[in-house]
Amino acid sequence: MGYKLNKMGPVVHGPLTSFPGEQALKRLGQNIRTARLRRGESEELAGQRTGVSRHTWRRLEQGSPKVALGVLVEALVAYGFSEQLFDLADPELDLEGQARDAARRPMRGRKQIRA
């Protein structure tokens, strides 16, 4: 991410990523790199399998937030992580969301007590 100064102050160029987001991308990249190395594949071959250049593949493994989400998904599928991928953001696994949704719903079958 780059910064430039103008009359109004600093201007951010590139994606804004939180610290936890950056750490997650780096860890995913490291995990994908480990999967590639365990299979004895080069960056070039991995890039070809996912339809990207070796340079883009390297940026993916480094955890760059500028790599397209589709490339990350293709890499995860290529190395057999599709089941874990399908579990990401699964509404059935979102216990906090389910609890908040239930709390907002009106209670049916009960009379409300008016003060």
In terms of residue numbers, what domain contains 31?
17-103
Asked, for residue 3, whether it belongs to a domain, the answer is no
Amino acid at site 25: L
Q: What is the pLDDT of residue 16?
A: 72
Asked, for residue 54, whether it belongs to a domain, the answer is yes
**Tens-of-pLDDT digits for all 115 residues of the chain?**
454 555 655 555 566 789 999 999 999 999 999 999 999 999 999 999 999 999 999 999 999 999 999 999 999 999 999 999 999 889 999 999 999 999 998 877 655 556 5
Asked, for residue 11, whether it belongs to a domain, the answer is no
Q: How many domains does the chain have?
A: 1
Asked, for residue 7, whether it belongs to a domain, the answer is no
User: Are the C-beta atoms of 72 and 33 separated by less than 8 Å?
Assistant: no
Cβ neighbors of 107 (< 8 A, separation 6 or more) are: none
| Phi/psi of residue 27, nearest 5 degrees | -65, -40
Q: What is the pLDDT of residue 57?
A: 97
Q: What is the CATH number of the domain that holds 63?
A: 1.10.260.40
Nearest residue to 75 via CA among 66, 65, 85: 85
Nearest residue to 59 via CA among 21, 32, 85: 32
Asked, for residue 60, whether it belongs to a domain, the answer is yes
Q: Is 1 helix (H, G, I), strand (E, B) or coil?
A: coil
